[in-house]
Structure 1
Amino acid sequence: MQIDARNRQATLSVGEFSAFTPYATPGFGGVSAAWRAQLGTEWHQRIQRESADAGEGMQDEVSLSGALAWRNWTLHLSGRIDQFKASPTAPHLREIKTLSEPVPLDREAILERYPAYPLQLLTYRELLIQAGRSDLGRDPAAETFRLELLFVEIGSGLTQSLVLDKTYDGLFVDHLDTLVDYLEAKQERLARLRSLSVRPAYDTPRPGQEHIQTELAEAFSQSQITLLEAPTGYGKTGVAWEYAARRLAAGQCDRVLYLTSKSTGQTEALTRLKALLSKATLSKSPESDSRSSASPPATFWHIRNKQEHCIHHEFRCSRQTCPYLAELHEKWKRSGLQRLYLLSQDELDLETLRAEGRVTGICPYEIMRAGLGQRDIWVGDYNYLFSPSSARLLADQADFDPARTFLIVDEAHNLPSRVASAYTHEFSVHPVYAALDDLNANKAPAALRNHFKILANLLTAGGNSPTRSATSDSEVDPATEADFRHSIGKVSELLNSEPLAYEELQPDTLELLFQISSAHAGQLRGELKHQLWSPHPGTFRLECIDASKLIQSQLSQYNGALFLSATLTPLESYLDEIGLEPGGGTAAPRASTHPQISHLTPPAPWRSEAYDVAIDLRVDTRFKSRRNHLPTTAATIAQAAEFAGPTIAFFPSYAYAKQAYEHLQLKHSELRVALQPRAGGSLADRNAYLEETLAFHDVLILILGSSYAEGVDTLGGKAGTAIVVSPALPEMNFIQEAKREHHDNLGHSGFERAYLHPGIQKVNQALGRLVRSPEHKVKALLHCQRFADPKTKRLLDPLYQSKSYIHEESDLREWLNK
C-alpha cells in the first residue's frame, strides 16, 4: 500500500484492501503458505476449465481498476476478478477460495474467519458500478449483481457456492471507515512529526561535532548512503539520532529504522534517543494543545527477539505446542489490546507485553507485532531486515515503505558477516531422520519421504570420508554436492506442490522444512555465493561466503542509509562487502564521495595524544610458533602490569588465552590475573564483571572479537597498558580458504580479504574502546612480528601505526617507563 497523506490518496490492490487491518495479524507463512498458494492456483485453473467446458460464458482473470472516494480520501484500487460474466441486467462475479477446513460454512463462520473474501466481491462490484457510471452513462447500482464465493475444500475437492445477499453490504462501508480511520491516523502522525522541534543531541558539542549536522545534510544531498566513520567516544549514536529527527521533521522520511548487531548497541541507542526526544518535548510551542503537549513528539519501539517475549514454559513457536499461539484471531477480537496502541504513545516495555500476554492468552511477540506500525521509530537487530527467518516482521506491516524510511546501521563493520551468517544453513543427519519419522507418522506424500531418505543418506555417506578425523572439516566432493543441492531442491519443490498436515508436524520438523526451503531459495538467488562443506561427520554446511549483492539490493530500496562505525578501513574492501563499487575522488580531507556513497571521517583531535603504541618484534604468535614464545608473552604481560597497570591483554582465541593464563599463574603467581568467562551473559553482567575485575586485578585477559572486548563501553580509561597478542587472523580452514579463492577470482588479494582484514578489524575495535574521552590515555603494545609487516601495518588505524619497536627486553622497560 502506497500512502500519499499530503494529497489524501492511497494506492493498493483489491486483495490488500479486503484483507486490511490496522494491526499486523499472524499468517501461515513459510512453506505452508507456499504450498497453499500453489494448490490454490491449481484449483483456480481446474474450476475455470470446468466452467468453460460447461459453457457458463465466464471470463477468467478479468483486470479491474478504479478510484473510490471516501471521507475526502481517494483510494486507487486494482485487481483481477477470478471469473466474470457480463450481463445487461445481472452481472455475475465469482471468487474461488480454497480452504483447509470442511465445507459448508455458514455466514457467521465466514465473517468470523474469512471476512476478506466477501469484501473482495463487494469491492469489485463497487469498482464496476463506478466504471459503469462514467463509461456507460447509466446507473449500474440499480442492477442486480450476482456475487458468488466458491469455496473448495483442499483435501477432498468438495465445493460450496455461496451467493452474497444484502446482509453483507454493510461490510464494505464499515471496512472503508476502518481503512480511512487508519489513513487519518497516519496523517495525524506525520503532522505531529513535521512539527517536531529538534534540539542538538549534545548541549556542548564534542570535539569534531561542531559541523557534523551540516556535513551530513550535504552528504545526503549527493548520495543515498553515507558512511560516518568516527572513533569510539565521538558520539556517533547521538549525532545519528539528531540527523534522523531532522529528516522526520523536514518531511524527508516518514519512519526511522535503527539496526545494530548487538543488544548492547540497542541499549545505547535507546538511551540517546530518549534523551533527544525529552529535549524535543520540552521545546514544543506553547500554542500546542494539552493533549499533544503530553504526547511524545515521536514514538518508538524496541524490537526484541521472540525468546525474550516468551511466557510459555517451553520456547517452541508452534500452534501445536504453544497455547499462546492457538486461536489468535478469536482471542484478538475479545482482547481489547488496541488500547495499548491508541490510548498511549509511551514505550511498551517487555514486562508490559508479557503481562498482557498472560491476561489475554496471546503471545507477547504477536502483541508487539500487531502494534509496531503505530510507532515512528523502530530499534532492533540486523535480522529484521536481512534474515529470511525474521524479515517478515517488518515486511508484513501494513504501512512499511522502505522508500519513505530512513535506515541507520550501527556497528556497520559487522553487517557483511552477520548477513552472510543469516543465509548460512547447516543440516545434520539426526534431525533429518527425526523429521523423516515425523513425516512417516503423519502419512506425508511418498515422494517427499523418499527425498528425505536420500538427504539422510547423503549426509551419512558424504560427511564420512575415510581419510578425515572425527573432528576435522572436509570438502564435499562435486558429485555429492550436486546430489545434495538437487535433493534440497526437490524437497523444496514438493513442499510447494504437495499437501502436508503442517498443523500435525513437530516444531523441529517445521523448522527443518523452513530451513530447506530457505536454503533452496538462497541458491536460486543470484545475489548470494554459497560454499558447501562438512564441518564434522554427518553434517553439511551451506556457507554463505558473499552476500554483497543482497545487501546492496536491500539498501537501494531505502530513503537513505547512514552507516556508523569506528572501523571501516580499508574502505575499498568494505564497500565491496556491501555491494557498493569504490571510486570517486576526495571532496575534502574528512569526506569522500562517489555516486552511491559519501564517506565522512570527522576529526577527534584528542585521540592523537591518547595512544603510545609500540610493536614488539621479539615474538612470533603464529599457531606453530606461539608455544615457544609463551614465556616471553607471559613475562611481557607481567612487566606491563608492574610498570603501568592494570593491564588488559587481548588474545585471538580462548585456548591461547588459557595457556597464557596458566603460565602466568605458574610463573608469576604474585599477580592477580583474571580470564574472561566463555559465556557473555547480559550487558549488566559484563559491565559488572569488568568494573570489579579491573578494580581488584593486575591483569585482565580478553578475547578479541568477544562481547567483552567489543560489546561494552566501560573499558575507556580503565587500562594503563594494553597488549594485543597476535593480529588475530582467522584460523585457516576449508571455508576460509574458499573465501580466499573467491576473492582471488574477483581480482582481489584473497589472503588479505579472507584473513588480514577481519583480524586487524578486531584489533582496531579493541584498541578503540580503550580511549573514549580526552582524559583517557593508554600504552598499547602490539605483541607480534607480523604487526611490522607493511601489509598488516597499513590496515591498522593510523594512530596505531607506530614507529617504536621493541627488539629486546631493555627496549620494553624503556618504553614502559617513559
Structure 2
Amino acid sequence: MRIFLNERKVQLSVTEFSEFKIGPSDRITWGMGRRRSKIGQKWHRELQKTAQEEFPETSFEIPIKGDLRYRDWTVSLHGRIDQLVTGKRFSTLREVKTIGSDLPQNDKILLDSYPSYFLQLSVYFLLAQKDPRWESRNLSAELLFVDISSGFIQRVAFNKKSHAIVNHQLENIHWFLNQRWNSHQRLEKLNYRKPFPKLRQGQKETCDRLADLWENPELLIFEAPTGFGKTGLVLERSLDSLRRRTHERVVFVTGKSTGQLQIVRQLEEMLSGRKDLSYLQIRNRIEHRISSPRHTCGDGLTCRENITDRWAAANICPISLFQNGTISLEQIKSLGRETGICPYEITRSLLPFADFIVADYNYLFGPPNQSLLFHIPGFDPASTLLVVDEAHNLPTRVTDSLSHSLSRQAVERSESELKFSNASSNLLRSYSELIYFLNSIQEPGELNTDLQYELVVLIENIIESLQYSPPPVDLLSKNTRDELWHYFEILEFLNDDSLSRLIWSTGLDFIYLSCLGAPLQIANTLERFSKVVLMSATLSPKNYFYGLCQINPEDSTYLQAKAPWRKKSYDVATDLRVNTSYQSRNLYYFTTAATASAMCGESTTPVVLFFSSYQYANSISKLINLKFPHLRIALQPRKGELLDREHFLKKNLSHSDLLLLVIGSSYSESIDLLGGRVSHAMIIGPALPEVNIVQKFRMKALSEIPRNEAFRQVYQIPALIKINQALGRLVRAPGQKVKVLLHCQRFNQDSYRSLLDPVYQSQLTISSDESLNDWIQS
C-alpha cells in the first residue's frame, strides 16, 4: 500500500485491498502465507488445462487495474485475474482458491470463512466492468474452491449484491486514510527539544555534516564512539524528516532491549511531554504475557481463539490509545486483562498508527517475525526512514536468525503427539522417514551432497503432508506446532542458494543448518527503504563490514565522528607476562588473579575484568576467592532479563571490589551503567571465537586468500570488535578516565593491536610485577 497524502490517493493491489484489516485474525494456514504453495500451483495448472480444453480462447493471469473513487479519496487498484474463461457470447472472471477445509460446504459458510476471497472477486468484477476490453461482453464471475485433501471442486457464482462488501471495505480504508491524513497534519506542527543543551567538542561538526548528508538518498554509515551522542543527533534529524514530511514513518531498530530503552528514553526527553508524535516500542511476545480471569496467554492458540469476534466485542480503538503520544507495555497488559484480548495482539493493532517505531532487528530481518512490520496496513518502506543502531551486530543477528537445528528426540516427541492426534498417515510416514534419517547420521562433520539432498526431500514430504492434510492444531502442544512451522523455514533455508551455509552433525542425533553469511538478504531488505542509516561505535574495518552487508562503497556515504577528548580518557598498557590462549591460560591463572588484586589496591571503584567465556571467568573467580578472600567478587550470571542485568550492575558497582563480565554478553555491551563509574579494567585475552566445525568451514571457504588474512576475518576481527565495544562503555563523557590493562602478550602483536580503536593502541608494555605496580600507581 502506497499512500500519497497530498494527492489524497492510495495505490494497492487487489489482494491488499481485500485483506486490509485493522485488528487481529484467527486464521491459521500451514505455510500458505509464506510462499505460494506447490499444491496451489499444481491445481492452478490443472484447472488452466481443463478450462482451455473446454474453451480454447480462455486466458490466464490477466493484468487489470483501475481507480475507485470513494468520497474524497482515489483508490488505485491493480492485480491479476486467475482465469478469463471466454466463450462465444460470454466472459467469466474466475478466481481459483485452494483450501484445507472439507468440501462441499454451504456458500454462506464459505463466505463467512473466506470473506477476502469474495471481496477480491467483487473488486475484479467492478474493475472489469470499467475496462474497455470487455465492455461489449456479457461478464460474470465465479470462485472455484479446491479441497486440497480430496480434490473436490466447488463453484460459487458471483452475486451482484456483493458490491456491498466492496463499499464496506472502502469505508474501512477511507477511515484509515483519514487517520493518516490527520497524522500528516499533526506532524507538520511537531515540536521537540534539541538533544543536547550545548554541543560538545566534535558534536557541532558532526551535526552539521549529518544535516547535509540527510537529504542524500544514499545509504549513510555513521560511526561515532560510545557516549558521543549519536543517538540524539540521529533522533533530531529523524524527527525533522517527519515534520518536513521527507519521510512518512521512522523505524529505529537495534539488537538489544537495552538499546531500545535508551532510544525511547531520549525520544521522550526530546518530546518533553508533547503529544504530536505517535510512537511505539515493540516488545517481544513473552514480555506481553498476562494471566487474568478474562485471558491467560498460554501456548499461542488460546490467544488467537475466536480473536476476530472477541476483538469486535472488546471495541478497542487503537488510535485512541495514542492520546498521550504512546502507550506503555504495562498499560497494554492492563487493557488485555480488562478486555480479554492478548496484549501482543493489541500491540500489533497499534502499529498502523505509529509514526515512529522502535523494535528489534528480528522484526525486519528475521524470517519468523519480519512480517509483523512489512504487513502493517499502510506501511510503505519506500517512504520510510530506517535507522539501524549497533549495526556491527546486524550481520551476526541475521545469520543466527536464519540458522536452524533438528533433534531426533524432539522429532520423536512430535511424532508421538501427532499419532495421538490422529494425524494423516502421510504425515506420520514422513516423520518416521525423518527419524530414520536422523538415526543414520553417526559420523560428526559436514553432510555430503547426497545426504543434503535426501534431507530436502524429507522436509518437502512433511510440508506437502501438512498442506494436504493439516493436523488438528488444538490437540498439539506449542512445541510441536512450532516445530511444524519450523519445517517451512528449514526448507526455505535449504533452497536458498544465495546463503553461505553449512549443514553438519555432531553425530549425536543432531543436525545443524548453520547460516554463515547472508549479505544478499541484508542488502535486499535495506534497499526497500527510502533512506537507511547504519550507525555504531565499531564499524571498522569498513571493508569487512561492507562485505558482510553487501554494501557498495560507491552507493553509500561514510561519516566518522571525531571526539578528541577520548585520547586523554584512556591509559592503556599491554601485559606481556601472560598468554591467555586456551592451551596456555591455566599456567597463568595465579598471575591473572594477583594482577586483579593489585589493581584493586589502587582503585576506589570496582575493577572490571572482561573474559572470553563464563567458564574462564568462573575459574579465576574461584582462585581469587581462595587466594585473596578479602576481595568481594561479583561474577555475572550466565543469563538474565533486562531488569535483572541492571539490578546486578547497580548493586555490585557499589558493593563489590571485582566485577567479572563476559565479553560480548549483554552485561558487557549495550549497558551504559559502567560509564564514569569504573577507573580500572582488565581485558583477559583477545576472546577469539571458539574453534569448531563452523569456524573451520569459514576458514576453508576463504582458502583462496592468504591464511593469515582468513584468520583475521574469521577470528580476530569479530573478537576485537567486541573488545572495542566493551572498552567504549567505560568512558561516555569528557572528564571520565580509566586505566585499561590488555592482559595477554598477543595484544602486542600488530595483527591484534591494529584492530583496536586507535585510542587503545598503546605502546606501553608490562613485562614484570614491578612495571605493573609502577603503571598502576602512576
TM-score under structure 2 normalisation? 0.92
The answer to whether residue 269 in structure 2 is matched with residue 275 in structure 1 is: yes
Query: For structure 1, which runs of at least 5 residues remain unmatched after alignment?
Result: 282-295, 466-473, 582-593
1:486 counterpart (434, 451, 456):
456
1:783 counterpart (743, 749, 756):
743
1:613 counterpart (572, 577, 582):
572
Q: C-alpha distance in 2, partners of 1:145/1:70? A: 24
Per-residue displacement from partner, 1:216-254 (whole Å, max 9, x unpaired)? 233344562222211211112111111111122222211
The SS at the match of 1:562 is: strand
Matching residue's letter, 1:596: D
The SS at the match of 2:31 is: helix
Q: C-alpha distance in 1, partners of 2:336/2:188? A: 34
Name 2:124's counterpart in structure 1.
124
The range that moved more, 336-345 or 714-723, is 336-345
1:430 counterpart (400, 409, 418):
409
The SS at the match of 1:200 is: coil
The range that moved more, 547-556 or 191-200, is 191-200
Give, in angstroms, the shift of residue 349 of structure 1: 2.1
Name 2:259's counterpart in structure 1.
265
Name 2:627's counterpart in structure 1.
667
Name 1:724's counterpart in structure 2.
683
Matching residue's letter, 2:607: T
Matching residue's letter, 2:716: L
Q: C-alpha distance in 2, partners of 1:569/1:127? A: 54
Change (3 A) 1:565 1:249: same
Name 1:80's counterpart in structure 2.
80
Per-residue displacement from partner, 1:299-342 (whole Å, max 9, x unpaired)? 111111111112369865443xx2x2111222222221125547
- Given that residues 65 and 127 in structure 2 are in contact (C-alpha distance below 8 angstroms), is that contact kept between their aligned partners in structure 1? yes
2:178 counterpart (184, 189, 205):
184
Give, in angstroms, the shift of residue 68 of structure 1: 2.3
The answer to whether residue 471 in structure 2 is matched with residue 501 in structure 1 is: yes
Per-residue displacement from partner, 1:674-732 (whole Å, max 9, x unpaired)? 222222332x3323322322222222222111222113111112222111111111121
Name 1:767's counterpart in structure 2.
727
Q: C-alpha distance in 2, partners of 1:490/1:125? A: 37
Name 1:288's counterpart in structure 2.
none
Give, in angstroms, the shift of residue 810 of structure 1: 1.2
1:239 counterpart (224, 228, 233):
233
Alpha-carbon RMSD across the aligned residues, in angstroms, is 2.9
Name 2:304's counterpart in structure 1.
325
Name 2:63's counterpart in structure 1.
63
Name 2:438's counterpart in structure 1.
459
- Given that residues 213 and 243 in structure 1 are in contact (C-alpha distance below 8 angstroms), is that contact kept between their aligned partners in structure 2? no
Per-residue displacement from partner, 1:613-643 (whole Å, max 9, x unpaired)? 1111111111121111111111111111102
Name 1:286's counterpart in structure 2.
none
The SS at the match of 1:174 is: helix
Matching residue's letter, 1:670: H
What percent identity do the matched residue pairs reach?
33
Query: 1:404-415 maps to which residues of 2 (within 5 A)?
Result: 404-415=383-394
Q: C-alpha distance in 1, partners of 2:736/2:35? A: 60
The SS at the match of 2:512 is: strand
Give, in angstroms, the shift of residue 114 of structure 1: 2.9
The range that moved more, 640-649 or 91-100, is 91-100
Q: C-alpha distance in 2, partners of 1:501/1:312? A: 28
The SS at the match of 1:710 is: coil
The range that moved more, 304-313 or 770-779, is 304-313
- Given that residues 23 and 398 in structure 1 are in contact (C-alpha distance below 8 angstroms), is that contact kept between their aligned partners in structure 2? no
The answer to whether residue 250 in structure 2 is matched with residue 256 in structure 1 is: yes
- Given that residues 38 and 496 in structure 1 are in contact (C-alpha distance below 8 angstroms), is that contact kept between their aligned partners in structure 2? no
- Given that residues 25 and 304 in structure 2 are in contact (C-alpha distance below 8 angstroms), is that contact kept between their aligned partners in structure 1? no
Change (3 A) 1:440 1:35: farther
Matching residue's letter, 2:776: L
TM-score under structure 1 normalisation? 0.88
The SS at the match of 1:563 is: strand
Name 1:565's counterpart in structure 2.
536
- Given that residues 491 and 516 in structure 1 are in contact (C-alpha distance below 8 angstroms), is that contact kept between their aligned partners in structure 2? no
Give, in angstroms, the shift of residue 505 of structure 1: 4.4
- Given that residues 608 and 680 in structure 2 are in contact (C-alpha distance below 8 angstroms), is that contact kept between their aligned partners in structure 1? yes
Give, in angstroms, the shift of residue 384 of structure 1: 0.4
Matching residue's letter, 2:579: D
The SS at the match of 2:586 is: coil
Name 2:334's counterpart in structure 1.
355
Q: C-alpha distance in 2, partners of 1:557/1:104? A: 43
Q: C-alpha distance in 2, partners of 1:26/1:254? A: 30
Per-residue displacement from partner, 1:752-802 (whole Å, max 9, x unpaired)? 111111211221111111111112111111111000000000011111111
The answer to whether residue 202 in structure 2 is matched with residue 211 in structure 1 is: no
Q: C-alpha distance in 1, partners of 2:100/2:645? A: 50
Q: C-alpha distance in 2, partners of 1:41/1:186? A: 37
Q: C-alpha distance in 2, partners of 1:17/1:719? A: 57
- How many residues matched? 772
Change (3 A) 1:146 1:21: same
Give, in angstroms, the shift of residue 513 of structure 1: 2.6
- Given that residues 455 and 487 in structure 1 are in contact (C-alpha distance below 8 angstroms), is that contact kept between their aligned partners in structure 2? no
Name 1:468's counterpart in structure 2.
none
Give, in angstroms, the shift of residue 417 of structure 1: 0.8
Change (3 A) 1:384 1:779: same
The answer to whether residue 166 in structure 2 is matched with residue 172 in structure 1 is: yes
1:526 counterpart (487, 497, 501):
497
Name 2:660's counterpart in structure 1.
701
Change (3 A) 1:376 1:440: same
Query: For structure 2, which runs of at least 5 residues remain unmatched after alignment?
Result: none
Change (3 A) 1:260 1:790: same
Give, in angstroms, the shift of residue 5 of structure 1: 1.9
The SS at the match of 1:188 is: helix
The SS at the match of 1:702 is: strand
Q: C-alpha distance in 2, partners of 1:728/1:61? A: 57
The range that moved more, 3-12 or 332-341, is 332-341
Change (3 A) 1:501 1:671: closer
1:516 counterpart (487, 512, 533):
487
Q: C-alpha distance in 1, partners of 2:699/2:305? A: 48
Q: C-alpha distance in 2, partners of 1:664/1:40? A: 65
The SS at the match of 2:11 is: strand
The range that moved more, 564-573 or 47-56, is 47-56
Per-residue displacement from partner, 1:81-114 (whole Å, max 9, x unpaired)? 3444568997644434444445565575455433
The SS at the match of 1:707 is: coil
Q: C-alpha distance in 2, partners of 1:340/1:359? A: 18
Q: C-alpha distance in 1, partners of 2:30/2:195? A: 42
Q: C-alpha distance in 2, partners of 1:618/1:346? A: 57
Query: 1:3-402 maps to which residues of 2 (within 5 A)?
Result: 3-23=3-23, 25=25, 27-28=27-28, 31-33=31-33, 37-51=37-51, 60-84=60-84, 92-102=92-102, 109-110=109-110, 112-132=112-132, 146-165=140-159, 167-222=161-216, 224-278=218-272, 281=274, 296-311=275-290, 317-319=299-301, 322=302, 324-338=303-317, 341=320, 344=323, 346-402=325-381
The answer to whether residue 575 in structure 2 is matched with residue 598 in structure 1 is: no
The answer to whether residue 408 in structure 2 is matched with residue 476 in structure 1 is: no
1:803 counterpart (763, 766, 770):
763
Give, in angstroms, the shift of residue 26 of structure 1: 5.2
The SS at the match of 1:81 is: strand
Change (3 A) 1:619 1:384: same
Q: C-alpha distance in 2, partners of 1:155/1:310? A: 36
Give, in angstroms, the shift of residue 657 of structure 1: 1.3
The range that moved more, 67-76 or 632-641, is 67-76
